[in-house]
């Protein structure tokens, strides 16, 4: 009887695991099947590097959206990575226990806030601040980068903190025994030793940022043009799909699915890099 229960449990878990994989495969096949016709018609080079997006004229160039996605994501990482790494180091090495018990749950709360709330906050505070003090319309790459940086902080902080805590205590003890200061130990030993986990945290944060839609729609300006400054509005791949899918049809809809293929490939590459970094750890 016990063997039967164990076998049943194993089969049930296997079925659930295969169901998850099958769902992902079906979604992937559906997106590819819907998007390939437009890519074949327009041409992969023109689709990826064309600068005109005019569905009514049959022009489907997503290069401005690719540039917008990369710009906003890199901007978010430039802000988020140093902040998250410093926060992780503080929680692991410097924070008193009572303060850690406050900061860590607060970071977890950040991860649970809906993205539309971040977007609304950015619309009310960040956009007017940029418009009044830095110039431009306010709806800009900078505004999107700030919002995405805040949204990616919980992911990067949590994984980087776990990576630092996973280091053997003997690393730190040996370094301090040799006469180095605590800060020298952190910078010269602990961060390099945990670099694989920290790299995975950054890549996963990057995937979180590049896949965000609602918050970015509200603060980015959504202009289909190549940005020349961080104060210029832009449009990302995700916002392009989110804005136009509601009324798109026919070839236009297929072009949005093709945009999804490009986004899917980018996310898969980022996740592959994160998995590779985690295995090295």
The top-level CATH class assigned to 61-280 is mainly alpha
Task: Count CB neighbours of 189 within 10 A.
Answer: 18
Q: Which residues does 134 contact at the CB level (< 8 Å), separation at least 6? A: 142, 231
pLDDT band at 196 (very low <50, low <70, confident <90, very high): confident
Q: Is 11 exposed, middle or buried (0-12, 13-18, 19+ CB in 10 A)?
A: exposed
Report d(CA 98, CA 100) in Å as an integer. 5
Find where tokens 């090295």 sit: 280
148: closest CA among 225, 232, 84, 58?
A: 84
pLDDT band at 170 (very low <50, low <70, confident <90, very high): confident
pLDDT band at 212 (very low <50, low <70, confident <90, very high): confident
Length of the chain, in residues: 281
Window from 113-127, 242-256, 260-274 with minimum mean pLDDT: 260-274
pLDDT digits (tens, 9 = 90+) for 28-49: 899 889 889 998 988 889 999 9
Mean per-residue pLDDT for 223-228? Answer: 87
pLDDT band at 1 (very low <50, low <70, confident <90, very high): low
pLDDT for residue 56? 84
Find where tokens 């790459």 sit: 141
pLDDT for residue 127? 93
Q: Which residues of 117-152 are buried (b: 16+ CB within 10 A; e: fewer)?
A: ebbebbbeebbeebbeeeebebbbbbbbbbbbbbbb
pLDDT for residue 259? 92
Q: Which residues does 221 contact at the CB level (< 8 Å), separation at least 6? A: 137, 139, 140, 232, 233, 234, 235
pLDDT for residue 280? 62
Mean per-residue pLDDT for 184-198? Answer: 86
**118 vs 182, more confident:** 118
Contact (Cβ atoms closer than 8 angstroms) between residue 84 and residue 205: yes
Give the predicted TM-score (pTM) of the model: 0.87
Mean per-residue pLDDT for 59-85? Answer: 92
Contact (Cβ atoms closer than 8 angstroms) between residue 242 and residue 17: no
**167 vs 281, more confident:** 167
Contact (Cβ atoms closer than 8 angstroms) between residue 130 and residue 138: yes
pLDDT digits (tens, 9 = 90+) for 143-160: 999 999 999 999 999 999
Is the pLDDT confidence value at 275 over 80?
no
pLDDT digits (tens, 9 = 90+) for 85-128: 999 999 888 888 888 888 888 888 888 888 889 999 999 999 99
Q: Which residues does 277 contact at the CB level (< 8 Å), separation at least 6? A: 196, 197, 199, 200, 203
């Amino acid at each position: 009887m016990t063997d039967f229960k164990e076998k049943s449990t194993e089969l049930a878990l296997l079925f659930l695991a295969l169901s998850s994989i099958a769902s992902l495969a079906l979604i992937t096949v559906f997106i590819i099947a819907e998007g390939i016709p437009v890519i074949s018609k327009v041409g992969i080079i023109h689709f990826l590097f064309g600068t005109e997006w005019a569905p009514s004229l049959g022009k489907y160039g997503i290069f401005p959206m690719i540039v917008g996605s990369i710009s906003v994501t890199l901007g978010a990482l430039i802000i988020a990575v140093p902040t998250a790494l410093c926060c992780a180091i503080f929680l692991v090495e410097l924070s008193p226990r009572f303060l850690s018990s406050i900061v860590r749950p607060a970071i977890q709360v950040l991860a649970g806030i809906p993205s539309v709330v971040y977007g609304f906050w950015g619309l009310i505070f960040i956009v007017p601040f940029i418009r009044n003090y830095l110039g431009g319309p306010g709806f800009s790459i900078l505004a999107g980068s700030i919002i995405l940086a805040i949204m990616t902080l919980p992911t990067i902080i949590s994984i980087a903190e776990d990576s630092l805590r996973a280091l053997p205590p003997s690393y730190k003890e040996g370094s301090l025994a040799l006469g180095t200061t605590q800060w020298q130990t952190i910078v010269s030993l602990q961060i390099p030793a945990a670099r694989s986990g920290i790299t995975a945290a950054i890549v996963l944060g990057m995937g979180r940022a590049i896949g965000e839609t609602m918050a970015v729609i509200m603060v980015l300006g959504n202009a289909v043009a190549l940005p020349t400054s961080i104060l210029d509005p832009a449009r990302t791949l995700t916002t392009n799909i989110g804005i136009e899918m509601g009324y798109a049809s026919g070839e236009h809809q297929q072009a949005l699915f093709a945009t999804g293929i490009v986004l899917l490939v980018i996310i898969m590459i980022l996740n592959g890099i994160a998995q590779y970094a985690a295995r090295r750890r």
